[in-house]
Amino acid sequence: MSTRTQPRPFAVWLLIALQFFLGLGALAGGACFILAPDGSIMHMPVSMISGSPFSSFLIPGIILFTVVGIYPVMVAYSLWQKPTWVWPNAINPFKQTHWSWAGSLAAGVIVLIWITVEVQFTGVGVLHFVYWAWGIVLIVLTLLPDVRKYYRLKA
């Protein structure tokens, strides 16, 4: 049976939604930092990142917007549509699964790394725990047997 005709398990729908909303939030946050590198839109003083290599929120905003924003939105789309693009397979280490599955796993790891690095410069806040949990849930959902089976390529 083709994976395209299989009904999507609930875990797949949840994974798609979590990837999409993660990306949407990061697009908004990143855009705020790009538009106001002094942190004024987000009501965050630049002094929050005084121990970091950055003198403003511009570079972190660009990274947030692209890596934690655009990337998970693209992963969500790819998990939903399973496009037959050839180029992502070049970096897919799991050739037996659709490349969007590997992309989802990577997005979970990326958000964990982002939050862990952020905490090094800003200290720990409640939202950091929310995003750590979000990253862990993304990884766990991606690794669920039903999800892996849904994205497994037929032999």
Give the angle 3-18-32 at the CA atoms, nearest 5°: 135
Confidence of residue 8 (pLDDT cuts 50, 70, 90): very high
Closest of 129, 45, 54, 145 to residue 97, by C-alpha: 145
pTM as predicted: 0.91
Asked if residue 74 is part of any domain, the answer here is: yes
pLDDT of residue 148: 97
Q: What is the pLDDT of residues 53-69, one digit of tens each?
A: 999 999 999 999 999 99
Asked if residue 1 is part of any domain, the answer here is: no
Q: How many domains does the chain have?
A: 1
Asked if residue 29 is part of any domain, the answer here is: yes
Asked if residue 131 is part of any domain, the answer here is: yes
* Domain encompassing residue 19: 10-151
Asked if residue 125 is part of any domain, the answer here is: yes
Asked if residue 68 is part of any domain, the answer here is: yes
Cβ density class 65-100: b for 16+ within 10 Å, e for less: bebbbebbbbbbbbbbebeeeeeeeeebeeeebbbb
Asked if residue 5 is part of any domain, the answer here is: no
Asked if residue 2 is part of any domain, the answer here is: no
Residues contacting residue 126 through CB under 8 Å, at least 6 positions apart = none
